[in-house]
C-alpha cells in the first residue's frame, strides 16, 4: 500500500497473462454490496485499440491542461506532477496494457441516490475490487495508473471495444512494468488529519 502509486512511465515489455490472472484471482475477493459482484475487467493490448483510446484520453486531457497552463483552473498538483501527467496523456497509446473496469449498475444499490448531492455509494461495490487489482499487480512488480478521465468518453470506448450495453465503464487502469523504480515513500496526510474520535475536534493519535 505504501508503494502502489500512479505510475506515469512504463517499459514496453508485455505483462504475461498469468500475472493478470493471479492478480484478478485475488482482487475478486473485494467487498461488494450483497455479494452481487458487478465488476468485469477487459484487458486491452491491441495496438490500434490503444491508439484510439490514447486519442480519446488526450482529447479529454487537453482542456483541463490548457486551463491550468493559462491560470484559469488549478488541479491542486505541483508543477512537476502536472507535467508528468501531461507526458502520461501524450504517451497513452504507448502504455503496454489498458484495463477497462466495467460494472453492471443494475447490481449496485446506491443508497444515497436521493440525497441532494453527488451520489457516490454505488462505487463501494466497484472501486475496492479495482484497487485490489492494483495492489495484487504491485505485489508482482507491475505498476499501475488508476484514471477515470476516459469515463467521460464512455459511448466511444464501449463502441470501440465492444463492451456489452448493460455494462458501464467505471475507470481505466494502465498496467505495465515501470520505467524507473517503485517509490520508497509516498506523500500522504498524517493519520491525525484523516481520523477522529467521536468528533472532528479529537484527532486520532497512536
Mean pLDDT of 51-70: 90
12 has pLDDT over 80: yes
* pLDDT for 75: 64
Percent of the chain residues topping a pLDDT of 70? 97
Query: What would the pLDDT profile of 112-163 be if each residue is shown by its tens digit?
Result: 999 999 999 999 999 999 999 999 999 999 999 999 999 999 999 999 999 9
> The domain 17-181: what is its CATH number?
3.40.109.10
Pairing status of strand 167-176 against strand 39-44: unpaired
Q: Where are the domains of the chain?
A: 17-181
* pLDDT for 71: 72
| pTM score, whole prediction | 0.94
Query: Buried b / exposed e across 192-204, counting CB within 10 Å, b at 16+?
Result: eeeeeeeeeeeee
**Cα–Cα distance for residue pair 107/200, rounded to 1 Å:** 34
Query: What would the pLDDT profile of 61-93 be if each residue is shown by its tens digit?
Result: 998 888 777 777 666 667 778 889 999 999 999
Amino acid at each position: 500500500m505504501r508503494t502502489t502509486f500512479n505510475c506515469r512511465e512504463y517499459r514496453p515489455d508485455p505483462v504475461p497473462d498469468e500475472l493478470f490472472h493471479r492478480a484478478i484471482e485475488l482482487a475478486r475477493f473485494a467487498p461488494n454490496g450483497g455479494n452481487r459482484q458487478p465488476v468485469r475487467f477487459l484487458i486491452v493490448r491491441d495496438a490500434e485499440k490503444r491508439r484510439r483510446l490514447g486519442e480519446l484520453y488526450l482529447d479529454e486531457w487537453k482542456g483541463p491542461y490548457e486551463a491550468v497552463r493559462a491560470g484559469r483552473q488549478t488541479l491542486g498538483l505541483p508543477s512537476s506532477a502536472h507535467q508528468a501527467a501531461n507526458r502520461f496523456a501524450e504517451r497513452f497509446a504507448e502504455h503496454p496494457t489498458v484495463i477497462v473496469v466495467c460494472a453492471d449498475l443494475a447490481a449496485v444499490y446506491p443508497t444515497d441516490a436521493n440525497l441532494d448531492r453527488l451520489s457516490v455509494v454505488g462505487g463501494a461495490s466497484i472501486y475496492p475490487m479495482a484497487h485490489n487489482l492494483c495492489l495484487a499487480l504491485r505485489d508482482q512488480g507491475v505498476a499501475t495508473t488508476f484514471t477515470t478521465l476516459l469515463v467521460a468518453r464512455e459511448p466511444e470506448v464501449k463502441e470501440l471495444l465492444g463492451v456489452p450495453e448493460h455494462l458501464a465503464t467505471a475507470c481505466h487502469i494502465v498496467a505495465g512494468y515501470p520505467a524507473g523504480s517503485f517509490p520508497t515513500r509516498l506523500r500522504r496526510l498524517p493519520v491525525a488529519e484523516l481520523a477522529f474520535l467521536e468528533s472532528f475536534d479529537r484527532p486520532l493519535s497512536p
